Structure 1
């Protein structure tokens, strides 16, 4: 007590990080008991560069943190990695929800497209232990250099510099895409193993940004729309001139499957059509 007032002790960085991890685990809506501990173990500040940091406000402009204290990073905020290019370390709660929905498991092979400086790559790498691996892809050379350095302590992670839309991917249990795509390349769908998942921000036309979870069952692909999500466009997969039939938001939310055009031509259930694939309202789960 001092002058009749309680002196409240400031929370330590470890306490704040621990509580942030608890909130991320809650945002995941997952029963995976590993998540909270893994979210706590990976320090976000390592991947955001030296502070002070530029944090995105609600009007999409950046605000600088008042100091280089990492405690400022443990909130649900977007942090600039390259503000001039609009490249950020994304919202932790959104990614927690994606990770919960995509459910990475021990032993999985993951392709992380648009890895940035590697923060979410690092979380994924922890979730595939033991015996799993993460192949990270990043097109920005500066970010690749930073990611490789940041990810050195993490097991079974490789970082490839290049356009993931134009190179073959390894056979994957999960493809985790951190760049907005008009349509995922057919090669990404073909890279999924049976039971494999792909989660990506679908931005087929202006005004629609929707996280989509694709799951492969033999030669068919089910789709589950998730939450709203908008990312910087994916180079090589962001030409909306490729869309010959565009959905409205209600149609986008009603999508339940995606088809490779080479396997089946678009039918009356098609709500979004592209040269190599099309999205449908047909619910394949009802036929299983």
Structure 2
């Protein structure tokens, strides 16, 4: 086994262990999909706290660690933290034949992983930055089940999806994203209702509405068009945000006393719609 293949295999084992997923395919896809193919030519700029470091050479072995690799340093855009994405993808549990929408695809690395996991299903990848979208389209050419769209996922409308995987922080998910979820569909997104509040949230379209599970801390760059709350919004602090258990469209149900946050066309509730009444 070559050094790079050995490094990639161990990297995949580490990510799968952190994810705690029961799906052995998660480790397999991190082993099979070459991260360097989505980063451009090395050496690469690695982000460490508030510092940036250049890898010693263009040897891909340097990027098979849990490091952020800059894609557009001036705009604060990076390739994402592999451990975080392994945990998110593991939680979303993609299945063969499902339809995924990836919002904020960057240059396509995590899109490729999703594409492998849902094949022969499909992935629709949205990327707002023209340069990144062009790079993603080129990088993802070998993946015949991916369509890359250079466009705005907030206003452009999403296709019906089993999974919507969002890689840009939103003050609240647009109502159209919730409507695009198929029954049993999962929406994973970074929730940033306030500057100091950053949570990863899993929403599932259930029979009686949308469940909401804030499952870990998370920080992403803002999603253009969905990162600012209006003056009438009810904004939670971090503790209240973490107690969200369901999310509602205001058009379907008016906010009640359980409302933790009311933002635009959606509101978050402390009530768990999966709980059964006593008696």
TM superposition score category, shorter chain reference: over 0.9
Structure 1 position 121 matched with structure 2 position 117: no
Preserved contact between residue 28 and residue 96 of structure 1 (Cα < 8 Å) = yes
Q: Extract unaligned runs of 5+ from structure 1.
A: 1-9
Aligned residues: 277
Q: 1:65-101, CA deviations, whole angstroms, 9 ceiling, x for partnerless residues?
A: 1111111100001100000010100000000000111
The match for 1:75 is 65
1:219 shift after superposition: 5.3
Aligned residue runs from structure 1 range 98-177, under 5 A: 98-129=88-119, 131-177=120-166
Give the TM-score of the pair, scaled to structure 2. Answer: 0.97
Whether the aligned pair in 2 keeps the contact of 1:242 and 1:274 (CA below 8 Å) is no
Equivalent-residue separation in structure 2 for 1:287 and 1:75 (angstroms): 44
RMSD: 1.4
Write the distance in 2 (CA, Å) between the matches of 1:42 and 1:147.
Answer: 14
Which sections of structure 2, spanning at least 5 residues, go unmatched? Answer: none
1:23 equivalenced with 2:14 (yes/no): yes
Residue 4 of structure 1 corresponds to none
Larger-Rg structure: 1
Superposed, 1:234-249 pairs within 5 Å as 234-241=223-230, 244-249=233-238
Q: Is the 8 A contact 2:229 2:264 kept in 1?
A: no
CA distance in 1, matches of 2:231, 2:72: 29
Deviation at 1:275, TM superposition (A): 2.1
Runs of 4+ in 1 over 4 A off after TM superposition: none
What is the aligned partner in structure 1 of residue 213 from structure 2? 224
Structure 1 residue 240: Cα displacement: 2.8
**How far apart are the structure 2 equivalents of 1:277 and 1:123?**
30
Which of 198, 202, 222 is the matching residue for 1:213? 202
The corresponding residue for 1:47 is 38
Q: How high is the TM-score relative to the length of structure 1? A: 0.94
